[in-house]
Amino acid sequence: MYEFDWSSIPGALPFLWDGMKISLEITLLSVVVGIVWGTLLAMMRLSSIKPLSLFAAGYVNLFRAVPLVMVLLWFFLIVPKFIEQLFNLPPGTDLRLTSAMIGFALFESAYYSEIIRAGIQSVPKGQMAACQALGMNYTQSMRLVILPQAFRNMIPLLLTQAIILFQDTSLVYVSALADFFGAAYKVGDRDGRLVEMLLFAGAVYFVLCFAASTLVKRLQKKYHPA
Amino acid sequence: MIQISNVSKSYGTFDVLKDCSTTVSKGEVIVVCGPSGSGKSTLIKCVNGLEPFQSGEIIVNGISVGDPKTNLSKLRARVGMVFQNFELFPHMSITDNLAIAQMKVLGRSRDEAVDKGLKLLDRVGLKAHAHKFPGQLSGGQQQRVAIARALAMDPICMLFDEPTSALDPEMVNEVLDVMTELAQEGMTMMCVTHEMGFARRVANRVIFMDHGRIVEDDAKEAFFANPRSERAQQFLAKILHH
Amino acid sequence: MNYQWNWHVFLQPTASGDDVYLGWMLSGLQMTVMLSLSAWVIALLLGALMGVLRTVPNKLLSGLATAYVELFRNIPLLVQLFIWYFVLPELLPEAIGNAFKQSNPVFQQFLAAMVCLGLFTSARVAEQVRSGINSLPRGQKNAGLALGLTLPQTYRFVMLPMAFRLIVPPLTSEFLNIFKNSAVCSTIGLLELAAQGRQLVDYTAQPYESFIAVTVAYVAINVIVMTLMKKMEDKVRVPGYMGGK
């Protein structure tokens, strides 16, 4: 029987907390960018200007067809060099964190844009007709009437996607970034207590995500008793 | 054939059925009517155990429905049921709909089952549609197939839960005609329905339910001529104006 | 920008001399496909079982199934993978654990990856199956039971055939997700497509070509799977149902 030794954990908590902060930072940034850029993408996709809708469709379909791991590797290995050369920055500038965050945000935006697009399309067509009949232009209609309704319908899905995003942050491991999971692995590896640290990390993620998704379900029941 | 004694059922705090008692003898045709929410559908679903009940007893052909030891599956094979929304199995052809329970429950061979199914299909006038799928038939046709499907099991009695309520008016008669024929051939039937014309023609007794109770249980002539309770009188007055 | 594009690098012999670089990529692709397909089989079988169990009246069974789903849904895939690969061999009885640790490394990686991916996805399949069953008209179950079919028979002949047809679109999504999630298994050293992509970047001096090639491969997988699933959806469509053809 394996001899469990949890003694690594207490001493490592500050380090693990730093990692958790990074996980949360990436999550928060990606959610914000995801919603903003995702909304723009969704509107582009739904617009009647062909080049815009084609671009948005291409963007979304591309990012949804490839693994996140690949996108992160792309932004970890390729993009920093590319930006260095483009802006003539001194070599060795650490763009890793920024790059990973950008890659992450661009990737998740594609998923957010699909949720938002569905949300926009779920608003009855009559609403837009009513806006136009009242003389509102496209931007006004979207901003004042359509988007507010769309977002209210989408909140549970947006929140659920945020939980998924939080879990996805563990993949920045491939960019050698110390997010919570990366930190847990480092501690386990260093102390030879990988088993305990991995189980600990799993338990922490479980508690956080389960609590969050229970909250979302409760919110859903409250606002949509149907 | 069917004995319902002091049956009560509740969902949480809501009492759906309150102390209901009645009997149905072999060959009798009983119509159960009443306003929405009176519990008539629930009562009929208790007879074949699709709905459990908290107190009282239901005996069908000598078998107690509420007894935990009863093999409900075997019981249901002998009691036919027709649903308001037909409930044909959409992914199976009409022939398969008719054959599946015969094969899986009664153990008949596929040939036997298909043969019987087609005979019954012919009886309800739909033999030409045997190879089609439910989605390709009209409501009235689907309901007639549903009746044939129930009859294929050689039931001792038939339960009908508002069989024509979901049909367009022009299709109601084709289904009622099948049911009338069935009654005239001596099938024991318990029908929840609003079709008072059918009740007048074919029923032996009429049961009127209101708020979970059996308020009236009369021979049909007595019920239509002179309902005893005020509630039944109101109900008849409104419904017979159609 | 001084970058020399060289698409011919794929046909050049590798550092170890036994293959051309394209061969590396193809072997990665093969590994991805094998891993994904075998995990998908596990996911479908277990997922269907768990999804059904979540809908049965027996509270113990449905509770167990719910616990199963919540467990695999609330832990990131990467963490699950590491637990299967690093932790489980330590927790198994010594004989089995040692046998595992001494076997072929690729076998170890593949087995851990396949089990992890299969179970992870099965929880998501279970949710789809559950929602498919719940979206069936309630009368269907009653109609099956009223004919005398037992509950298992009703699930088998009446409910599941329709439920599965209803969930083909979301199942397609999950199937695609398995192919994408297989990339995570590169972290334990499995040489699937993403890992080979990284190798190509390291060994050739042509990172752009390597990445573009791997991206194209994933997009191609996407297109092929979607086409196949669409064909299947058309084939099992029930005539006259849901206003379809």
* pLDDT, tens digit (0-9, with 9 covering 90-100), for A86-111: 777 666 656 777 788 888 899 999 99
pLDDT per position as a tens digit, B54-84 = 999 999 989 999 888 888 888 888 899 999 9
For chain B, the DSSP string reads: -EEEEEEEEEETTEEEEEEEEEEE-TT-EEEEE-STTSSHHHHHHHHTTSS--SEEEEEETTEESS-TTS-HHHHHHHEEEE-TT----TTS-HHHHHHHHHHHTS---HHHHHHHHHHHHHHTT-GGGTTS-GGGS-HHHHHHHHHHHHHTT--SEEEEESTTTTS-HHHHHHHHHHHHHHHHTT-EEEEE-S-HHHHHHH-SEEEEEETTEEEEEEEHHHHHH--SSHHHHHHHHHHTT-
Is C244 inside a domain boundary?
no
pLDDT per position as a tens digit, A116-162 = 998 888 888 888 888 878 778 888 888 888 888 888 888 888 999 99
Is C7 inside a domain boundary?
no
- Residue C2 pLDDT > 80: no
Cβ A34 vs Cβ A111: under 8 Å: yes
**Assigned token pair, B80:** 């036919």
pLDDT of res. C241: 66
Cβ B200 vs Cβ B172: under 8 Å: no
- Residue C16 pLDDT > 80: no
DSSP character at residue A54 = H
Q: Which chains are within 8 Å of C by 3+ CB pairs?
A: A, B
Cβ C113 vs Cβ C182: under 8 Å: yes
Chain C residues inside the 8 Å CB shell of A209: 73-75
Is A5 inside a domain boundary?
no
Cβ A101 vs Cβ A30: under 8 Å: yes
Cβ C165 vs Cβ C174: under 8 Å: no
What mean pLDDT, rounded, does chain C reach? 88
Is C10 inside a domain boundary?
no
Main-chain dihedrals φ then ψ at residue B161, nearest 5 degrees = -105, 95
- Residue C7 pLDDT > 90: no
List the domain range (segments joined by +) for residue C154: 18-236
- ipTM of predicted complex: 0.87
Q: Does C57 touch chain B (CB under 8 A)?
A: no
pLDDT of res. C245: 32
Scan residues 183-242 of C and list those with Cβ closer than 8 Å to B: 238-241
List the domain range (segments joined by +) for residue A114: 11-223
Length of chain A: 226
Q: Each residue of A68-100: b (16+ CB within 10 Å) or e?
A: bbbbbbbbbbbbbebbeeeeeeeeeeebbeebb
pLDDT of res. A90: 67
The CA distance from B7 to the nearest CA of chain C, in Å, is 20
Say whether C240 and B76 touch across the interface (CB within 8 A): no
For tokens 């637990």, name the residue. C83
pLDDT per position as a tens digit, B115-124 = 999 999 999 9
Mean of pLDDT values over C100-120? 91
The closest CB to that of C148, out of B73, B89, B132, belongs to B73
The answer to which of A78-87, C183-192, C205-214 has the lowest mean pLDDT is A78-87
pLDDT of res. C242: 54
The closest CB to that of C140, out of B45, B87, B101, belongs to B87
C-alpha distances (whole Å) from A225 to each of A124, A218, A219, B103, C54 are 20, 10, 10, 43, 22
What mean pLDDT, rounded, does chain B reach? 90
- Residue B143 pLDDT > 90: yes
pLDDT per position as a tens digit, C193-237 = 999 888 888 887 778 888 888 999 999 999 999 899 889 888 888
Is C11 inside a domain boundary?
no
Instruction: CATH number of the domain at C142, please.
Output: 1.10.3720.10
- Residue A2 pLDDT > 80: no
- Residue B164 pLDDT > 50: yes
Number of domains in chain A: 1
Closest of B144, B136, B101, B104 to residue B120, by C-alpha: B144
Percent of chain A with pLDDT over 90: 44
Q: Does C145 touch chain B (CB under 8 A)?
A: yes
d(CA A212, CA A181): 18
Say whether A77 and C207 touch across the interface (CB within 8 A): yes
| Higher pLDDT pick, B144 / C7 | B144
- Residue C244 pLDDT > 60: no
Is C6 inside a domain boundary?
no
Say whether B101 and C149 touch across the interface (CB within 8 A): yes
Give the Cβ contact number of residue C189 at 10 Å.
Answer: 13
Number of domains in chain C: 1
What mean pLDDT, rounded, does chain A reach? 87
The closest CB to that of A206, out of C74, C77, C211, belongs to C74
Is C3 inside a domain boundary?
no
